[in-house]
């Protein structure tokens, strides 16, 4: 599409035409140039096939007019783009993000517009005898204007993307809070929050408690993960597709973490409570240290150290025969009794396990038989003794109770 214009009557009196005068001569034809720019852009980029009387056409017409003014200003020794014009190009960048597109098409449209504008301005200048120096200055100004348009649109696009990311982050944090609430939010409310957070609700999840106060590794941005990394008790919720579970090391490649078993979404809060309990025992030494600890590997420890009151009551009754002994003697007899209850091994095997002489083991066992009598033959009593002694052993290495 070509813009055809008639040469205006010169009012320069034979002197060389000035850049601003060329802009004034061309100004009546900016509407035709805008149509040519729109035509070329729509021909090359089908996504921009929009009505000319809409916002797209208005932006193009305003852009063409501003380009002509900018070219005249720059060629005349002035520079800079009006802030109103800059805001328009920032808004175009924001629109591209809202439409789910990258900036590639918009920047291509700017380049096309620049080439079309320059082609028609060059034809106009040549037909009106504009000196080559002025036309070169105009060419430089036109393509500088295209660069400015692109720069402002990139600025707007990035600002919109940052705002969208911040908004999405807030939505996901709210969703995470409601999933982990006790009791959790209603299924209807969770679906609403999940839609806003663009996070498909899974049927099964794995909850991860992270160690507070340590440097956390970078968490990969994934649709299947919700993360709360600030605060004293950071955690993750990982979607588990179809109820299957994978190694969390693939999701969380560093740092110390306590991982719950896979649970239904409605049980996420309870799962987090036990993951955090596991992390507490890990920090206090009741569970061997490792970068990633799975709760299912330490269920008996979690069970034993759940309730101090109940364990104390069991201990007071089951270990009453040891109450009158010195602390040193009680510790030795308790250690031997626990080893025997756990393995029911012979004196030599127990001696090797405890690092003492077999005769020492036999001596201690005779003492225990004298203190406990027939209770050592009762399965229920043996269970109570083992539970109590095992809990004491864990507490001795630094474990804490809820």
Provide the pLDDT confidence category of residue 243 given band limits of 50, 70 and 90.
very low
| Range in 254-268, 306-320, 365-379 the model is least confident about | 306-320
Specify the pLDDT at position 94.
86
Is a pLDDT exceeding 70 seen at residue 392?
Answer: yes
- Among 77, 155, 70, 78, CA closest to 113: 70
Is a pLDDT exceeding 90 seen at residue 175?
Answer: yes
Average pLDDT on 290-308 reads: 81
∠ CA 8-10-12, nearest 5°, is: 150
Is a pLDDT exceeding 50 seen at residue 13?
Answer: no
Is a pLDDT exceeding 70 seen at residue 81?
Answer: no
pTM above 0.75, yes or no: no
Specify the pLDDT at position 10.
43
Average pLDDT on 297-310 reads: 78
Average pLDDT on 47-72 reads: 67
> CA torsion 82→87→88→92, rounded to 10°?
140
Specify the pLDDT at position 162.
83
Provide the pLDDT confidence category of residue 318 given band limits of 50, 70 and 90.
confident
Is a pLDDT exceeding 50 seen at residue 77?
Answer: no
| Range in 11-15, 223-227, 377-381 the model is least confident about | 11-15
pLDDT tens per residue across span 119-157: 888 888 788 777 888 788 778 888 888 888 889 889 988
Residue 108, CB half-sphere, CA atoms under 13 Å: how many? 15
Residue 141 and residue 120: Cα distance in Å, rounded? 14
Residue 333 and residue 345: Cα distance in Å, rounded? 16
Average pLDDT on 5-12 reads: 41
Q: Which contiguous run of DSSP H or E holds residue 83?
A: helix 83-98
Q: Round the average pLDDT of the chain to a whole number and report it.
A: 78
Specify the pLDDT at position 21.
66
Specify the pLDDT at position 218.
53
SS (H, E, C) 141-189: HHHHHHHHHHHHHHHHHHHHHHHHHHHHHHHHHHHHHHHCCCCCCCHHH
Residue 264, helix vs strand vs coil: strand
Break the chain into its structural domains and give their ranges. Answer: 19-165, 203-302, 308-396
Residue 307 and residue 315: Cα distance in Å, rounded? 12
DSSP state for residue 204 in the 8-state scheme: E
Specify the pLDDT at position 265.
92
Work out the number of other CB atoms within 10 angstroms of the CB of residue 257. Answer: 27
Per the model's pLDDT, the better-predicted residue between 222 and 388 turns out to be 388
Is a pLDDT exceeding 60 seen at residue 4?
Answer: no
Is a pLDDT exceeding 50 seen at residue 300?
Answer: yes
Query: 63-96 in b/e burial notation, b at 16+ Cβ within 10 A?
Result: bbbbbbbbbbbbbeeeeebeeebbebbbbbbbbb
DSSP class per residue in 215-261: PPPPPP--TTEEEE-SSSS-EEEEEEGGG----GGGT--SS-EEEPP
Specify the pLDDT at position 14.
47
pLDDT tens per residue across span 323-360: 888 888 988 998 898 889 888 888 889 889 889 998 99
CATH dotted code for 19-165: 1.10.490
Specify the pLDDT at position 99.
80
Residue 57 and residue 64: Cα distance in Å, rounded? 11
Average pLDDT on 57-61 reads: 69
């Amino acid at each position: 599409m070509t813009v055809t214009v008639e040469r205006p009557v010169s009012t320069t009196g034979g002197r060389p035409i000035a850049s601003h005068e060329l802009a004034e001569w061309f100004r009546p034809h900016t509407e035709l140039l805008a149509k040519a720019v729109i035509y070329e852009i729509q021909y090359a980029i089908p996504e921009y096939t929009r009505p000319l009387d809409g916002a797209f056409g208005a932006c193009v017409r305003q852009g063409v007019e501003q380009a002509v003014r900018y070219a005249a200003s720059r060629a005349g020794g002035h520079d800079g783009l009006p802030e109103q014009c800059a805001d328009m190009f920032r808004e175009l960048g924001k629109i591209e993000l809202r439409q789910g597109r990258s900036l590639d098409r918009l920047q291509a449209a700017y380049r096309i517009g620049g080439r079309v504008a320059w082609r028609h301005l060059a034809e106009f200048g040549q037909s009106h005898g504009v000196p080559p120096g002025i036309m070169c200055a105009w060419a430089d100004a036109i393509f500088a204007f295209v660069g400015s348009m692109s720069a402002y649109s990139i600025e707007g696009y990035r600002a919109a993307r940052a705002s969208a990311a911040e908004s999405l982050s807030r939505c996901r944090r709210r969703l995470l809070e409601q999933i982990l609430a006790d009791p959790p939010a209603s299924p209807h409310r969770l679906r609403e929050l999940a839609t806003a957070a663009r996070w498909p609700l899974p049927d099964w999840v794995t909850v991860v408690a992270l160690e507070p106060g340590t440097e956390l590794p970078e968490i990969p941005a994934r649709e299947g993960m919700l993360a709360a990394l600030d605060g004293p008790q950071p955690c993750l919720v990982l979607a588990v597709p179809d109820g299957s579970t994978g190694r969390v090391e693939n999701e969380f490649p560093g740092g110390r973490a306590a991982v719950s078993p896979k649970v239904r979404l409605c049980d996420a809060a309870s799962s987090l409570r036990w993951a955090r309990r596991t992390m507490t025992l890990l920090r206090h030494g009741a569970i061997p240290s490792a970068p990633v600890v799975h709760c299912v590997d330490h269920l008996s420890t979690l069970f034993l150290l759940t309730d101090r009151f109940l364990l104390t009551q069991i201990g007071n009754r089951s270990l009453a025969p040891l109450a009158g002994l010195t602390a040193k003697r009680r510790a030795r007899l308790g250690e031997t009794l626990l080893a025997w209850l756990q393995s029911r091994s012979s004196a030599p095997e127990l001696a090797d396990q405890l690092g003492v002489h077999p005769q020492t083991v036999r001596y201690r066992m005779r003492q225990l038989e004298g203190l406990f009598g027939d209770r050592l033959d009762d399965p229920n009593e043996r269970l109570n003794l083992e539970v109590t002694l095992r809990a004491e052993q864990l507490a001795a290495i630094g474990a804490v109770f809820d």
